[in-house]
Chains A and B, each alone.
Chain A
């Protein structure tokens, strides 16, 4: 035994902490390496874009006194009283910023892309069959499943497309290919039964556009917000809260013109940018008395900014000569660097993200559910499994080629359109959505599935009632992060022939589109004046990164909420 001990001691050698410390320092360096470099770069870029040093010292002083000092004071006070309240306050602050950002995007949609009447028509066309579907479900016991399914599908089809609709177009294609279809050739062009969309958008007299938006955008958001605030205080409280939020939206439409904002954007900004954070604040104030004090943080920031802005404009202190200004956000590209703007690219990116989400989300989540819940464990599913992971690593330029080959060359669609861009980027992030959705589905505890099975639920009922509700926020988180990758992609858009520069926004999915990274690339490569690559490009990068961070922050909040439920 004694010999063993001495052997061990000899093998252990001299004891020193130096090696461990060096190792630890190296690990820390590895952790910080990327973060530090990217942060420094972004600071440089933001400095070039915003030029904070060009502001009057008085401007800095004013905001330091009205914004920075009070916020620091109030923040420290709240933090010392309750950390939970401080967190709530910061969340509310982030909520305000992100909601206002998103409301800008939504306002853009209704100003330049979708006519409010068309939007109303689509909303009505979706609401009518949805109501029919709910009505049919009431006859759950008496009608067989196929009958209910048939009625619901027919109602949606009639409402959205009318007769013969896209099926008629398909029939006329097939008859051109020589298939014997009665009346085939004419089906593509005639219209037997108009759709609800056609009927509504064809009415000769309609409410003012902003009133339509109050009803169709403010209504649903108001109802959701009202329910969140009223919780289970009964019907009367819910109606009162919802009406109050709806009233805020309607008032914005009336007051907007008085302060120089046209009614349509005023209504959208109120509905998307003001009501949700207000509902969050009201919810905290009413339902979480212990965290109520946290709301002082966003209140201080908002009041401080407004007071600071007021003082600065009254005294006449010049702010920084930022390249990211209102004109940059709302005008199109120009050969002259001073008047070059980002508007068509911002709108294009939003449209692309919407079409990517619409196309890739159902497919990706469907695949994830199948692979996790239904797929048998055999060699085929294992091959699929491995290849989905491989697909996630395929370079984006290859997806661009795929998109061009498939949609433009093979299916002969016009190049560079919203639809093709969305489909190509959708293919690109599909594997990421599948992988993250599978992760979320897998994290639903097996015991819950077993409990559902034990109560006699079918597989479908378990998936619908247990698995999907439990994993939904996780799935959403993964999807948003995947969209964050898609919004920064340039190569696939170049490959599918998206125009380098656009002067206007597309109003249909079959029109061409450009995106933020593509525009930044064009500015940095095709326009050689120093103002372009030292000022306009950083300004574009700042906007792109801000949008990306806003999207990611939504994902992070969702994930935290989701983890705290476990």
Chain B
């Protein structure tokens, strides 16, 4: 456009110089050294990948949150966490033993086949006990039953017994069909229940071979199912039960000595609540322990494994005893030293 051209030509050199000078001065005034933006280098940084049991998952994420956040006095905001809830077996097979995770949480001990898979990939799992879980057998609050024996549990849950009704198990119980709720067979909780109730004799629970079982990873669904029917029975981790203990009733379990024991933090830790209390683990890849972030996190976890506030109140598991904690910490120090020297 001609008007534009006229405008351009009438702009004097002085105006241009003044404009450039002003812009330059403004830009310089806002300048600062770029090096000051770098974060302090002495803080711990790195990434911790963990996979595994959905039972341990809330405990592990609570620990990671505390480790990053600093409510407990130390803060490591530059350490990143990649937590995945995959189930114990899924974690070993797809993440941990393939070298994609530093830690695998487990609600049971590692199986031989899984250990073999790890060894084949040059991954050496190191076991740490982090808490105790109590499995809880729950029924509807309106049901007039307060305790149950292990034998009764076995005949209710075993796939190889033929129980359809409550009265088939115990003549004092109602003539109503049993509705069973529990975790799916991918869950470590399922495996543990089989082990402790069926003693490895029978290999399946009722619900897997059909029947009225509702298999689900979601413990909340188990609570809802039992809450909704007076004929229902379910089992799940104590953590989940303790947060809904006004909605369902926990049965006291009699392991054959005639004295039923109610599940609670005290009875689980003391060992009185048998056979349904179990240790929870996390497995560390030995090579990962050479990474400062992983080692520091695991040390933090074990140091706080006795904390009632975190383990019991926030997550609902039974904390380690002082003695057990010392053992685990010694094992960790040893493993870190070994990993460090293997690394060199």
Contacts and interface: CB of A to CB of B under 8 A. Distances in A.
B81 A336 contact: no
A12 to B, nearest CB: 56
A522 B94 CA distance: 19
Given A234-B1, A499-B82, A503-B64, A528 B243 contact: yes
Contacts of A512: 80, 82
B84 A497 contact: yes
Interface residues of A, number: 38
A336 B314 contact: yes
Interface string B25-65: 00100111111010000000000010000100110011011
Interface string B65-82: 100100000000100111
A47 interface: no
B58 A234 contact: no
A499 B34 contact: no
B1 A235 contact: yes
A203 B217 contact: no
A205 B34 contact: yes
A18 interface: no
Interface stretch (A82-90, A148-156, A206-214, A454-462): A206-214
Pick from B27, B30, B33, B68 the residue with the most CB of A within 10 Å. Answer: B30
Given A205-B34, A206-B31, A497-B95, A503 B81 contact: yes
A236 B11 CA distance: 12
Interface majority SS (helix, strand, loop, mixed), chain A: loop
B240 interface: yes
Interface string A329-342: 00011111000000
B26 to A, nearest CB: 8
B85 interface: yes
Nearest to A507: B80
B12 to A, nearest CB: 16
B3 interface: yes
A287 to B, nearest CB: 19
A415 interface: yes
A205 B32 contact: yes
B110 to A, nearest CB: 21
Contacts of A502: 80-82
Contacts of B1: 234-235
A525 B220 contact: yes
Nearest to B26: A211
A333 B49 CA distance: 17
A403 to B, nearest CB: 15
Nearest to A417: B82
Interface residues of B, number: 42
Interface in A330-379: 332-336
Interface in A192-245: 203-209, 211, 234-236
Nearest to A514: B82
Contact of A501 (B27, B61, B240): B61
Contact of A335 (B31, B62, B95): B62
B84 A499 contact: yes
B239 interface: yes
B47 to A, nearest CB: 8
A503 B32 contact: no
Nearest to A416: B82
Given A206-B34, A522-B85, A234 B4 contact: yes
B85 A335 contact: no
B218 A503 contact: no
B100 interface: yes
B57 A335 contact: no
B80 A511 contact: yes
B315 interface: yes
A535 to B, nearest CB: 14
Contacts of B85: 500, 522, 526
A465 interface: no
Interface in B77-98: 77, 80-85, 94-95
A234 B8 CA distance: 12
B203 interface: no
Contacts of A335: 58, 61-62, 65, 314-315
A527 B316 CA distance: 11
A115 interface: yes
Pick from B35, B62, B82, B84 the residue with the most CB of A within 10 Å. Answer: B82
Interface in A505-529: 511-512, 522, 525-529
Nearest to B54: A526
Given A115-B37, A333-B61, A334-B65, A501 B83 contact: yes
B223 interface: yes
Contacts of B218: 525
A333 B239 CA distance: 19
B4 A235 contact: yes
B144 interface: no
Nearest to A336: B314
Q: Closest 6 A-B residue pairs measured CB to CB? A: A499-B82, A211-B30, A335-B62, A235-B4, A208-B30, A528-B240
Interface of A: 115, 117, 203-209, 211, 234-236, 332-336, 414-416, 497, 499-504, 511-512, 522, 525-530, 533
10 contacts: A203-B34, A206-B32, A207-B31, A208-B30, A414-B100, A499-B83, A501-B61, A502-B81, A528-B219, A533-B220
Given A501-B61, A503-B68, 16 more contacts: A203-B34, A205-B32, A205-B33, A205-B34, A207-B30, A211-B27, A211-B30, A234-B4, A236-B4, A332-B65, A497-B95, A500-B83, A500-B85, A512-B82, A522-B85, A527-B58
